[in-house]
Copies of this chain bind each other. A is one copy, B any other.
Amino acid sequence: MKTKILTILSNSDGYVSGQQLCEQLGVSRTAVWKVINRLKEEGYLIDSVSNKGYRLLSQPDVVTSEAILSKLQTNYMGRQVFSYDEVTSTNTVAKQLADEGKEEGTLIVSDKQIQGKGRRGRYWESPKGSGIFMTVILKPKMKPVYASMLTLVAALALNDAITDLTGLEAKIKWPNDVVVNKKKVAGILTELSAEVDYINYIVVGIGVNVSMKDFPEELKDKATSLLLESGKSIGRAQLIAKTMEYLECYYERFLKTHDLSELKETYSKVLINKDQVVRILTEDDSYTGVARGITDEGHLIVEKDNHDLVEVYSGEVSVRGLYSYT
């Protein structure tokens, strides 16, 4: 009911009478009053005026289930939310919940991560309250080998949500970073649990630097936050909800063909690598070329210096001009 009241207040410009809330929700005045008080305790600024009712003046920047659900307009993506104050990593929690059978679209969010990991176990900064740490569970019926495409689908959703809410020109560095003004603001870590030819589930972990005002010296050239770049405070719950909405939309389009054929044009438009010099570092090779786009399978197409086109599907990709690669 907290979610419902919050949703009604959020969507109303003026006052909503207690009577109206009671009727819409089929509960007593006392019940409404209790929920309003609980919301106030959580940091919601709610004006109560006799004969007029309640009006939501401001919302705290929390990532509770109610805060997210009151803003969410999806059919299934993010509709079941598990929200935590602190977790080792949202991917770890998501994997446990997925093992227990939680359904597709289940969203895990935490205010803080104490063991967040980037790709291959690298450390990812996570100060309390300043970032988004979330993971969504997906269960596409397809072979494990195609799971990597979901990273691109999620990157596209995240990129659009950031652009929408901040007005910034966000770009994607293939395959899994969102970049603003040549610095990283968000990353994605996709993991999967699978049988040989059958996906049990995929967890898509998303980390966003929302309101950090400073970064350690060694990261200053490479990382930034939405606050630093836009000067605006972005509500985390709002950004989470928006990301879920785009994700549902793009994921549905992905499922039609089980590849990126419908999305690759959209993706290429925001691909920061496009027509830029990139350096590819694999286990046994290193070369430079110019990135040209992606394939239906989400591989990066690179035109080597000798004009051969190669498909890059893993390994380290540096883009000239980004993250101190000059």
List A residues at the B interface (Cβ < 8 Å): 92, 95-96, 99, 119-120, 143-145, 147-148, 151, 175, 189-198, 200, 313-315
If A99-B95, A144-B144 touch, whether A190 touches B198 (CB-CB below 8 Å) is no
Give the residue name and chain of the B residue nearest to A191 (CB): B195
Taking CB atoms, residues of chain B closer than 8 Å to A193 are: 95, 191-193
21 residue pairs from A and B, CB less than 8 Å apart: A95-B99, A95-B193, A96-B99, A120-B198, A144-B144, A144-B147, A144-B192, A147-B194, A148-B197, A175-B196, A189-B195, A190-B195, A191-B193, A191-B194, A192-B192, A192-B193, A193-B193, A194-B194, A197-B313, A197-B314, A197-B315
Taking CB atoms, residues of chain B closer than 8 Å to A145 are: 144-145
Are A194's CB and B195's CB within 8 A? no
Taking CB atoms, residues of chain B closer than 8 Å to A92 are: 99
Give the residue name and chain of the B residue nearest to A175 (CB): B196
Are A200's CB and B191's CB within 8 A? yes
A143: which of B95, B151, B197, B314 is its contact (CB, 8 Å)?
Answer: B314
Identify the 10 closest CB pairs spanning chains A and B, nearest first.
A197-B314, A148-B196, A145-B145, A193-B193, A191-B195, A190-B196, A192-B194, A120-B198, A151-B196, A144-B144
Q: Which among A190, A196, A197, A200 has the greatest number of chain B C-beta atoms within 10 A? A: A196
Taking CB atoms, residues of chain B closer than 8 Å to A96 are: 99
**Bound Cα distance A190, B143 (Å):** 14
**Bound Cα distance A151, B197 (Å):** 12
**Bound Cα distance A120, B199 (Å):** 9
**Bound Cα distance A189, B151 (Å):** 27
**Bound Cα distance A161, B99 (Å):** 32
Chain B: minimal CB distance from A274 (Å): 21
Give the residue name and chain of the B residue nearest to A192 (CB): B194
**Bound Cα distance A194, B148 (Å):** 10
Taking CB atoms, residues of chain B closer than 8 Å to A191 are: 193-195, 200
Chain B: minimal CB distance from A218 (Å): 24
Give the residue name and chain of the B residue nearest to A189 (CB): B195
Taking CB atoms, residues of chain B closer than 8 Å to A314 are: 143, 196-197
**Bound Cα distance A163, B10 (Å):** 70
**Bound Cα distance A99, B144 (Å):** 19
Are A119's CB and B195's CB within 8 A? yes
Are B120's CB and A195's CB within 8 A? yes
Taking CB atoms, residues of chain B closer than 8 Å to A313 are: 197
Chain B: minimal CB distance from A123 (Å): 15
**Bound Cα distance A239, B148 (Å):** 39
Give the residue name and chain of the B residue nearest to A197 (CB): B314
**Bound Cα distance A192, B95 (Å):** 12
**Bound Cα distance A239, B193 (Å):** 29
Give the residue name and chain of the B residue nearest to A298 (CB): B196
Taking CB atoms, residues of chain B closer than 8 Å to A99 are: 92, 95-96
